[in-house]
């Protein structure tokens, strides 16, 4: 499906506004042409002394010629004799009425001309307002719908989608590319229709008033059209590269702001500044190339237009001297040509803007078309509880060609606390990420209460789970709204109860506005321990039967760790819990410890049993024990 056709699907929802805009544009074009047509009587009748008024032999003969043309066209129609005569009589009657209205004293004629001009101005003003507002309504609403669909598409994608794309690229698609489409649809597309209709009306007028002069003036039209098409094609490729450079810049910006502490800790400010400068240099180069094309378009067109105008003046001079053309007729004709220049110039900008928008739309639709590898089964059922427990049955998974998990089989009973341990890269995080279907298994299956997780709705599946991770995710909102995430109608007592169970109530009440305190982006106004306790309070408020815990205390001081450990103990009580353990001292009380090595389960048991076995777990424990016992200042 072409880009234009896909954009039309969004525009089609606002047909009524588009019809209003189009109708207003037709009225605007008609009034624009009438204003030009009134130039002739204004100069020949209003601004000329009666005794100096030009002899209108040419004007009268042209009226007679026009009448003959119309009558000839009617006679050529295959109409019954009676209908043909009625049409000719109707046309004659209208002509006579106009001549009676027109053939009055010069003072009265001047008044009528000025009144007509004033009416045209009023109608034109109203048409201009309705056409612009209606098209803005269509354009802004269309881009809003496109943004909403793109955001919705992004938010339901799998974790693989986000791991393969930078944040800056996704932000650029929703913000910058959508802005480019909005500019074209709401402004330039309005210009496209309005200026095209106006241009058509003016062309009809100049050919009607003076066909010979019109042909001479428009003989060079192809010379004006060629630069528009040529520069538009060149600009489309250039703006595509410019938008890509913008996405690169946004990515660097997002990375450095998010990791500013690491940048400063490694004194890499100069490195990041140089990296950003290089990105802005590439962006500037792409933009300057696009601007050069745009800047070159107008001078080329103006030069061609200037040559045409000089030739036109030379021709008109000879006609006026010979008496075959009045000054009013020439000024009216010249005003029409001048008025035609503005639509042509705007249409050139429309061409450039539309090419930019099409390039942006291609990128937006490309992202919209990325398939979601974690699709919900249309016949998926609801999952109500943990029931008989969780089972991993011969599960294999790979991010690429090499498997990360191999033939994993594991049974977790309801209410059981299972700790996952192993060296970095052993597959611990991958194992728990498969349970809520952040990814789908390549082979085998995962069941909860005997139901394959791929056969239940994502909402019911993830609704059974709570997450507390080492990297705490909080939102720039109040404490209350972070605890009762997505529940604006939450009971205040439940929020406070969750905060108390998470050992967070005391520090929350000490904040300036208590539970209504804004915590800043990612909770930057809170300490690490406070952020962790808020995350635990959020999980407690949700009250899920299944918990997934990524060691939440490894980066905390002793006092904060003690409070968080108490909160985690309250959280795990009575729930089926999977704990990713980095510090083995925190998993001694687990009902079952699962040791992973190179994507396989190599040991399963309790803490004491695994220590006595002297296998992989014992080696990991001894390494951590020696590290913890090493004197301060010792080198690892």
Domains of the chain by residue range: 3-368, 380-464+588-630
Q: How high is the pLDDT of residue 113?
A: 81
Instruction: Give me the mean pLDDT over the 133-138 stretch.
Output: 85
- Look at residues 636, 599, 600, 596 and name the one whose alpha carbon lies nearest to residue 616: 596
CA triple 162-168-174, angle to 5 deg: 85
Task: Give the DSSP letter of residue 554.
Answer: T
**What percentage of the chain has pLDDT greater than the value 70?**
81
Least trusted range by pLDDT, from 217-226, 287-296, 406-415: 217-226
Q: How high is the pLDDT of residue 184?
A: 75
Calculate Rg over the CA atoms of the chain: 38
**CATH of the domain spanning 3-368:** 1.20.1560.10
CA triple 101-103-106, angle to 5 deg: 110
Lookup: tokens for 473: 């995710």
Spatial separation of the C-alpha atoms in residues 28 and 297, rounded to whole Å: 27
Res 218 pLDDT > 80: no
Res 589 pLDDT > 60: yes
DSSP per-residue letters across 438-451: SS--SEEEEEETTE
Q: How high is the pLDDT of residue 636?
A: 28
Q: How high is the pLDDT of residue 71?
A: 52
Spatial separation of the C-alpha atoms in residues 611 and 65, rounded to whole Å: 112
The number of C-alpha atoms within 13 Å of 386 and in the hemisphere containing its C-beta is 20
Alpha helices in 219-326 (DSSP H): 221-258, 260-265, 269-322
What's the pLDDT tens digit per position in 455-465? 999 889 988 98
Task: Name 159's Cβ contacts closer than 8 Å, sequence gap at least 6.
Answer: 433, 438, 439
Least trusted range by pLDDT, from 117-126, 132-141, 163-172, 340-349: 340-349
* Residue 569 phi, psi dihedral angles, 5° rounding: -60, -45
Instruction: Give me the mean pLDDT over the 186-212 stretch.
Output: 78
Please give the CATH architecture assigned to the domain spanning 380-464+588-630.
3-Layer(aba) Sandwich (3.40)
Distance of CA 323 to the CA centre of its chain: 61
What's the pLDDT tens digit per position in 70-97? 555 555 555 565 555 665 566 566 666 6
Integer CA distances (angstroms), 115 to 98, 124, 295, in order: 16, 14, 42
Spatial separation of the C-alpha atoms in residues 257 and 526, rounded to whole Å: 18
Res 342 pLDDT > 70: yes
Task: Name 442's Cβ contacts closer than 8 Å, sequence gap at least 6.
Answer: 396, 397, 398, 403
What's the pLDDT tens digit per position in 41-65? 777 777 766 555 554 444 444 445 5
What's the pLDDT tens digit per position in 354-386? 777 888 888 888 888 888 888 888 888 898 888
Q: How high is the pLDDT of residue 399?
A: 86
Res 233 pLDDT > 70: no
- pLDDT class for 444, splitting at 50, 70, 90? very high
Q: How high is the pLDDT of residue 573?
A: 82
The better pLDDT of the pair 76, 492 is held by: 492
Instruction: Give me the mean pLDDT over the 219-247 stretch.
Output: 67
Least trusted range by pLDDT, from 336-345, 523-532, 540-549, 622-631: 622-631
Contact present, 115 and 46 (Cβ < 8 Å): no
Integer CA distances (angstroms), 72 to 78, 97, 513, 566, 600, in order: 12, 21, 86, 100, 94
Instruction: Give me the mean pLDDT over the 512-524 stretch.
Output: 84
The better pLDDT of the pair 16, 46 is held by: 16
Contact present, 138 and 185 (Cβ < 8 Å): yes
Res 390 pLDDT > 90: yes
Spatial separation of the C-alpha atoms in residues 399 and 402, rounded to whole Å: 7
Q: How high is the pLDDT of residue 95?
A: 61
Least trusted range by pLDDT, from 103-117, 230-244, 610-624: 230-244
Q: How high is the pLDDT of residue 38?
A: 82
The number of C-alpha atoms within 13 Å of 551 and in the hemisphere containing its C-beta is 18
- Look at residues 474, 557, 562 and name the one whose alpha carbon lies nearest to residue 523: 474
State whether residue 478 is helix, strand or coil: strand
- pLDDT class for 8, splitting at 50, 70, 90? confident
Task: Name 381's Cβ contacts closer than 8 Å, sequence gap at least 6.
Answer: 451, 455, 456, 457
- pLDDT class for 435, splitting at 50, 70, 90? very high
Output the average pLDDT for the chain. 79
Res 476 pLDDT > 90: no
Distance of CA 547 to the CA centre of its chain: 36
Beta strands 443-448 and 592-597 are: unpaired
Least trusted range by pLDDT, from 51-55, 146-150, 442-446, 565-569: 51-55
Res 344 pLDDT > 60: yes
Q: How high is the pLDDT of residue 397?
A: 92
The better pLDDT of the pair 138, 218 is held by: 138
- Look at residues 297, 413, 274 and name the one whose alpha carbon lies nearest to residue 355: 297
Contact present, 582 and 419 (Cβ < 8 Å): no
Alpha helices in 103-188 (DSSP H): 106-155, 159-163, 167-172, 178-182
Contact present, 139 and 185 (Cβ < 8 Å): yes
Sheet order of strands, 465-468 included: 465-468, 546-550, 576-580, 417-421, 592-597, 600-605
Q: How high is the pLDDT of residue 1?
A: 52
Helices 81-102 & 57-76 angle (0-180, nearest 10): 160
The number of C-alpha atoms within 13 Å of 521 and in the hemisphere containing its C-beta is 2
What is the pTM (predicted TM-score) of this model? 0.66
Task: Name 276's Cβ contacts closer than 8 Å, sequence gap at least 6.
Answer: 249, 252, 253, 256
Spatial separation of the C-alpha atoms in residues 600 and 597, rounded to whole Å: 5
Res 405 pLDDT > 80: yes
The better pLDDT of the pair 272, 312 is held by: 272
- Look at residues 527, 590, 583, 534 and name the one whose alpha carbon lies nearest to residue 560: 527
Task: Name 218's Cβ contacts closer than 8 Å, sequence gap at least 6.
Answer: 203, 206
Res 609 pLDDT > 80: yes
């Amino acid at each position: 499906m072409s880009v234009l056709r896909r954009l039309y699907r969004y525009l089609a929802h606002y047909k009524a506004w588009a019809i209003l805009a189009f109708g207003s544009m037709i009225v605007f074009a008609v009034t624009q042409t009438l204003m030009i047509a009134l130039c002739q009587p204004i100069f020949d009748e209003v601004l000329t002394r009666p005794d100096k008024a030009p002899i209108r032999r040419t004007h009268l003969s042209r009226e007679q010629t026009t009448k003959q043309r119309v009558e000839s066209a009617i006679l050529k129609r295959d109409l019954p004799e009676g209908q043909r005569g009625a049409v000719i009589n109707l046309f004659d009657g209208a002509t006579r009425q106009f001549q009676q209205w027109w053939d009055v004293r010069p003072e009265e004629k001047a008044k009528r001309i000025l009144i007509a001009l004033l009416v045209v101005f009023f109608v034109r003003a109203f048409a201009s307002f309705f056409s612009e507002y209606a098209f803005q309504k269509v354009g802004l609403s269309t881009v809003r719908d496109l943004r909403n669909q793109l955001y919705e598409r992004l938010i339901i994608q799998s974790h693989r989608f986000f791991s393969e794309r930078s944040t800056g690229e996704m932000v650029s698609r929703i913000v910058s590319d959508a802005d480019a489409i909005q500019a074209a649809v709401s402004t330039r597309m309005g210009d496209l229709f309005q200026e095209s209709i106006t241009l058509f009306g003016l062309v009809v007028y100049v050919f009607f008033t003076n066909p010979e002069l019109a042909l001479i003036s428009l003989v060079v039209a192809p010379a004006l059209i060629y630069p528009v098409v040529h520069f538009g094609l060149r600009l489309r490729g250039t703006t595509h590269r410019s938008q890509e450079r913008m996405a690169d810049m946004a990515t660097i910006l997002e990375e450095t702001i998010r990791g500013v502490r690491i940048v400063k800790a490694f004194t890499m400010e100069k490195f990041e500044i140089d990296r950003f400068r290089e990105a802005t240099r590439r962006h500037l180069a792409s933009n300057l190339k696009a601007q050069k094309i745009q800047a070159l378009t107008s001078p080329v067109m103006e030069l061609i237009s200037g040559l045409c105008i000089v030739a036109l003046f030379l021709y008109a001079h000879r006609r006026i001297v010979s008496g075959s053309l009045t000054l009013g007729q020439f000024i009216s004709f010249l005003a029409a040509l001048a008025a035609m220049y503005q639509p042509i110039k705007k249409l050139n900008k429309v061409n450039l803007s539309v090419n930019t928008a099409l390039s942006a739309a291609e990128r937006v639709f490309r992202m919209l078309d990325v398939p979601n590898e974690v699709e919900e089964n249309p016949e998926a059922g609801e999952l109500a509880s943990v029931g008989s427990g969780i089972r991993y049955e011969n599960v294999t998974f790979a991010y690429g060609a090499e498997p990360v998990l191999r033939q994993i089989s594991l049974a977790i009973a309801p209410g059981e606390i299972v700790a996952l341990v192993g060296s970095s890269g052993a597959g611990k995080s991958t194992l728990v990420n498969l349970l809520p279907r952040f990814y789908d298994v390549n082979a085998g299956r995962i069941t909860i209460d005997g139901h394959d997780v791929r056969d239940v709705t994502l909402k019911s599946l993830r609704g059974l789970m709570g997450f507390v991770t080492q990297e705490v995710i909080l939102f720039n909102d109040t404490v209350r709204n972070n605890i009762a995430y997505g529940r604006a109608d939450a009971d205040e007592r439940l929020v406070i109860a969750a905060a108390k169970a998470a050992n967070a109530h005391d520090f929350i009440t000490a904040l300036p506005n208590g539970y209504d305190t804004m915590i800043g982006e990612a909770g930057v106004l809170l300490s690490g321990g406070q952020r962790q306790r808020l995350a635990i309070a959020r999980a407690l408020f949700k009250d899920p039967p299944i918990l997934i815990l990524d060691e939440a205390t490894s980066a905390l001081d002793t006092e904060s760790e003690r409070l968080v450990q108490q909160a985690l103990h309250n959280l795990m009580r009575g729930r089926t819990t999977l704990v990713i353990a980095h510090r083995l001292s925190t998993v001694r009380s687990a009902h079952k410890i699962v040791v992973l090595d190179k994507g396989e389960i190599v040991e399963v048991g309790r803490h004491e049993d695994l220590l006595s076995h002297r296998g992989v777990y014992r080696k990991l424990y001894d390494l951590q024990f020696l590290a913890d016992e090493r004197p301060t200042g010792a080198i690892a």
